[in-house]
Chain A
Amino acid sequence: MTSTPDVIVVGAGIVGAACAHYAARAGLRVTVLDRGPVAGGTTGSGEGNLLVSDKAPGPELELALKSAELWRELAERLPHGIEYEPKGGLVVASGEAALTALRTFAAAQEKAGVTVRDVAADRLPDLEPHLARGLAGGVHYPQDAQVMPALAATHLLRASGAEVRLGQEVTGLLTGPGGAVRGVRTASGVFHAPYVVNAAGTWGGELARLAGVLLPVLPRRGFVLVTEPLPRVVRHKVYAADYVADVASDSAALQTSAVVEGTPAGPVLIGASRERVGFDRALSVPALRRLAAGATALFPVLAGVRVIRTYAGFRPYLPDHLPAIGTDARVPGLLHACGHEGAGIGLAPVTGRIIADCLTGAQPPVDVRPFDPARFEGGTGTGAGAGAGA
């Protein structure tokens, strides 16, 4: 049948859009399915952080560095509407001990290929005039950038030329002889293709279950505060050094180091708390309070600025805090591209590239073994499900 695509991507968030984009560029015919609208899940709640600064040397940093490069390319090709801003990150330390730890961390990152610039305390106001006085110093990461996630997703999809079918919830996987994937079933019909990519974000674990395999994707809630529209008050992505420890933490408890950044649209975004409480959207006043306290500690001028909105999003995470990217050895024809936790916007392009390379038999740009989707099978995953659910 001429209308049968080469690959079906499940999920029209940023990762699904990037998979569709790079697969289409590799010459494949792509159909994207989503149960909701474009960017209806975690993508629509994201701040659009494209960060290398918060990643320790290792496989995720390798992904992030490659992805930062791909984002720069995409920014050239896609419309300005995606609001790509190569603004750089600034990590600050409040005391000498934190500064020493930050510098050690940055030195290791530099060896792994990250551009880092030490910023002495008295130079901080040059980078961020409104930053609180009395900080011990910081590190500037010029490679950090920002994008408007929902617009990036829709523009990536449009540029891909993929067929996008929205309102299609996948209810089952079609398999053939030997268990190989033949397509998917949705509430309204069947879609055939020899390959299916699981880019379902927080719901990626559910899709894996439909395929009969384990992929323990779990939600980690985050609140974001949005201020009234302002002129440019904050130039970089600015956060305190303890954010890195929060990102890497295995704790289920609330962690709230604030990341503060301006946006082209005007509001300052303050993100993001991290809590493992399942899919609970209930407002957490303590989480908001701590975000506000963190932001005003970094930028005292914000104390008089009004916050007009807050929202919760759910980061899809896997127990070892690495995404699942690539072919699933357990189900021929099934690929995964999910579990990026809070880094999905940043890591989307490299994820799309790897998926396209897997589909076409090309050599992926990074070593993909750490992201093997089957790594949690048989209890080998580290502490699957620990602290999750409520």
Chain B
Amino acid sequence: MVTGVFDLVVVGAGPAGLAGAGTAGELGLRVALLDMAEHVGGQFYRQPAAGLGAARPEALHHDWDAFVALRKRLAAGRVEHLGRHHVWAVERGADGDWAVHAVVGDDGGDGRPVRVRARAVLLAAGAYERQLPFPGWTLPGVVGAGGAQAMLKGGLVLPGKRVVVAGSGPLLLAVASSLASAGAEVPAVIEASGYLGYARHPRALAVNPRKLAEGLTHGAALLRHRIALRTRSAVTEAHGSERVEAVTVSRLDARWRPVPGSGRRIACDALAVGHGLVPGIELGTTLGCGTRTTADNTLALHLGSGQETSVRGVWGAGEVGGVAGAQLACIEGELAARSIAARLGRDPGPEGRVRQLSSRRTRLRTFAEAMAATHAPGPGWTGWLCDDTEVCRCEEVTAGRVREAVADQGARDARTVKLFTRAGMGWCQGRMCGAAVSCLAGDGQPPAQRRPLAVPLTLGALAGQGPEDASEPSQSQT
């Protein structure tokens, strides 16, 4: 083996990446595991910083034991964990290997650029939250549901004392239960879909008893904390001057159009809101990896039976293949590692194990698609936007401006809306407004996930990104 070239680079140290790196290490591969956070765990297993001295980190988590086991496997194998590494691009090398380019630091702002070379790449970058704008959503105190959860898990802080949780998707139940356990009053969880949607997929439920149990756990937590669950409803406006003081909750029809006159105010000092998750696949799309559209209209990487993308040598696991949760992520990470080992001429382990994992994967994917279909945003949600509602938070572009670009200026797709209005051209590169802009553009397509620079980096770092600056495995340990 050539010195300085890893067998495998894993991008993302959440459940999928941990399982992938751990398994690959056990199979004898030399693995680099890159993640933007200092500690492994990703968003799901985000834990308080060491300095906070949390004696019971598991109190904020579901399935902490599984994480402890994953961490143990990592320590046993030949895995080099590179924390605080923000990957901005993966590039195909000349000799059939890959160069993973990263910048280092809490927010990628410190130190020099790093290049890690490997014979295979596993993309396990996870997901971020989908947001659908509404009047008042830029008010202080309105935060992402996943954001509130992350701030709580990582910093042991709450956005307010009385927090409404709203949006769509099973994450809301977990967030409400965490916030309430940590001392927040949660007057209500507002879910835009009906949970009855699951009943349309009886088979998906029947073969996934553990998912049912999870649901019951959250349901019990809601009861214990006296949290009302209101389905087929949405926060259609947030009120307040300096910060959010109340929200208006409206009933939705089957297409998610707010029912006129159904609005009711709930007093609160914070709102945690989100509409499911969006796979973080830009590193893959830049490489030309094929995508598929999920049941809730996001783009996910198209993955083969061994978790390989359409680009030979690049694998994906977990949310990048469609949002499906930590349990499936672990299975896919392991499957990917075994497939990679086989490709690199190593023993991938017992065949029976792969068969067993594959069948569990199929079952969980079926459930995930049912879940996505149940919580998919209905087309009528744009009915709660006013023309002066900001859609793009970065560039402060309103819904009215986007509608004008579509109606009067010949924009027929999200890309052209972006050119005409700057919606999606700001710091976040359309991650927050992408879903909304696509809906308003009316092309029916999921938001494109094309971001050749996956994270920002300074021009100085980019200019210095020469092979001579490359970090070799032996030097890059942090």
A residues apposed to B, CB below 8 Å? 12, 36-40, 44, 150-151, 154, 157-158, 164, 166-167, 225-229, 265, 267, 270, 282-283, 285, 288-289, 292-293, 295-296, 302-312
Task: Name B's A-contacting residues (CB within 8 A).
Answer: 89, 91-92, 99, 101, 286-288, 395, 408-413, 415-416, 419-420, 422, 425-427, 429, 451-453, 456-460, 462-463, 465-466
Contacts of B411 in A (CB 8 A): 37-38
B89 contacts A283, CB within 8 Å? yes
B420 partner residues in chain A, CB cutoff 8 A: 150-151, 154
Please name 8 pairs of A and B residues whose Cβ atoms are closer than 8 Å in the assembled complex, sorted by A: A226-B425, A228-B456, A283-B91, A295-B463, A303-B458, A303-B463, A304-B459, A309-B452
Q: Which residue in B89, B91, B422 is a CB contact (below 8 Å) of A265? A: B422
Who on chain B is nearest to A12 by CB?
A: B410
**Cβ-defined contact, A38 with B456, below 8 A:** no
* Known interface pairs A285-B89, A309-B453; A164-B463 also in contact (CB < 8 Å): no
Please report the C-alpha to C-alpha distance between residue A150 and residue B92 in the assembled complex, in whole angstroms.
32
A294 to chain B, nearest CB (A): 8
Q: A289-B466, A308-B429 are in contact. Are A154 and B410 (CB under 8 A)?
A: yes
Which one of A225, A270, A309 contacts B425 once the chains associate, using CB atoms below 8 Å?
Answer: A309
- How many residue pairs between the two chains, A and B, have CB atoms under 8 Å in the bound complex? 113
List the 8 shortest-distance A-B pairs measured between CB atoms, nearest first. Answer: A303-B460, A38-B410, A150-B419, A292-B462, A292-B463, A37-B416, A293-B463, A306-B456
Does B429 contact A309, Cβ atoms closer than 8 Å?
yes
- Asked if B427 and A44 make an inter-chain contact with CB atoms under 8 angstroms apart, the answer reads no
- Least Cβ distance of B246 to chain A in Å? 33
Q: Contacts A309-B451, A310-B452 given: A296-B459 contact, CB under 8 Å?
A: yes
**Contacts A305-B459, A309-B429 given; 11 further ones with Cβ under 8 A?**
A37-B415, A39-B419, A151-B420, A157-B410, A164-B410, A282-B286, A282-B288, A285-B89, A285-B99, A304-B459, A306-B456
Instruction: Decide if A296 touches B453 in the complex (CB within 8 Å).
Output: no
Residues on the A chain within 8 Å of B460, using CB: 292, 296, 302-304
A285 and B410 contact, CB distance less than 8 A: no
Alpha-carbon gap, A225 to B463, bound state (A): 12
- B residues in contact with A228, CB < 8 Å: 427, 456
Chain A residues whose C-beta falls within 8 Å of the C-beta of B395 in the assembled complex? 265
Q: In chain A, what residue has the closest Cβ to B89?
A: A283
Inside 8 A of B413's CB, which chain A residues have their CB?
36-37
- Cβ 8 A contact of B459, one of A38, A150, A225: A225
Chain B proximity of A247: nearest CB distance (Å): 22
Cα–Cα, bound, A21→B420 (Å): 19
Q: How far is the CB of A184 from chain B (nearest CB, A)?
A: 19
The CA of A229 and the CA of B89, in the complex, are separated in Å by 22
Please determine whether A37 and B410 come into contact, CB atoms closer than 8 angstroms: yes
Task: Decide: B459 and A302 in contact? CB cutoff 8 A.
Answer: yes
Report yes or no: A38 in contact with B429, Cβ–Cβ below 8 A: no
- Is the CB–CB distance between A283 and B286 below 8 Å? yes
Q: How far is the CB of A231 from chain B (nearest CB, A)?
A: 16
Select A303's contact among B288, B415, B451, B459, beta carbons within 8 Å.
Answer: B459
Which chain A residues border B456 with CB–CB below 8 Å?
228, 306-308
Q: Are B462 and A307 in contact (CB under 8 A)?
A: yes
* Closest partner residue, chain A, to B412 (CB atom): A37
Say whether A289 contacts B465, CB under 8 Å: yes
Q: Which residue of A lies closest to B405 (CB)?
A: A154
For the complex, give the distance between the alpha carbons of A154 and B412 in Å: 12
Please name the residue on chain A nearest to B113 by beta carbon: A289
Least Cβ–Cβ distance between B86 and chain A, in angstroms: 11
Q: Are A44 and B459 in contact (CB under 8 A)?
A: no
Instruction: Tell me the bound Cα distance from A283 to B422 in angstroms.
Output: 23
Of all chain A residues, which has the CB nearest B441?
A37
Q: Is the CB of B458 within 8 A of A158?
A: no
Residue from the set B101, B413, B460 with the largest chain A CB neighbour count within 10 Å: B460
How far does the alpha carbon of A309 sit from the alpha carbon of B459 in the complex, in Å?
Answer: 11
In the assembled complex, the CB of B420 is this many whole angstroms from the nearest CB of chain A, namely: 6
A150 x B416 contact (CB < 8 A): yes
Q: Contacts of A310 on B, CB cut-off 8 Å? A: 452-453
Q: List, in ascending order, chain B residues with CB within 8 A of A311's CB.
A: 452
- Complex interface: chain B residues within 8 A of A12 (CB): 410
Give the residue name and chain of the B residue nearest to A302 (CB): B459
Instruction: Say whether, besides A154-B409, A289-B466, A227 and B459 are in contact (CB < 8 Å).
Output: yes
Q: Considering the chains assembled together, what is the distance between the CA atoms of A365 and B445 in angstroms?
A: 45
Neighbouring A residues of B453 by C-beta, 8 Å? 307-310
Cβ–Cβ contact A44 & B462, under 8 A = no
Cα A225 to Cα B461 in complex, Å, equals 14
CA distance A282 to B311 in the complex (A): 13
Are A167 and B286 closer than 8 Å at their CB atoms? no
On whether the beta carbons of A39 and B459 are closer than 8 Å, the reply is no
Q: Once the chains bind, are B459 and A292 in contact (CB under 8 Å)?
A: yes
List chain A residues, Cβ under 8 A from B425: 226, 265, 267, 309
State A309–B91 Cα separation when bound (angstroms): 16
CB distance from B421 to the nearest CB of A (A): 9
Measured between beta carbons, the chain B residues less than 8 angstroms from A309 are 425, 429, 451-453
CB-defined contacts of B287 to chain A, threshold 8 Å:
282
**With contacts A38-B409, A39-B419, A283-B286 known, is A307 near B426, CB below 8 A?**
no
Q: Which residues of A contact B463 (CB under 8 A)?
A: 289, 292-293, 295-296, 303
Task: Give the chain B neighbours of A302 by CB distance below 8 A.
Answer: 459-460
- Asked if B458 and A307 sit within 8 Å, CB to CB, the answer is yes
Collect the chain B residues with CB atoms within 8 Å of residue A227's CB: 459
Output the nearest chain B residue to A289 by Cβ-Cβ distance: B465
* B103 CB, min distance to chain A CBs, angstroms: 10
In the complex the two chains form, what is the Cα distance from A283 to B409 in whole Å? 30
Known contacts A12-B410, A285-B89; is A305 also within 8 Å of B458 by CB? yes
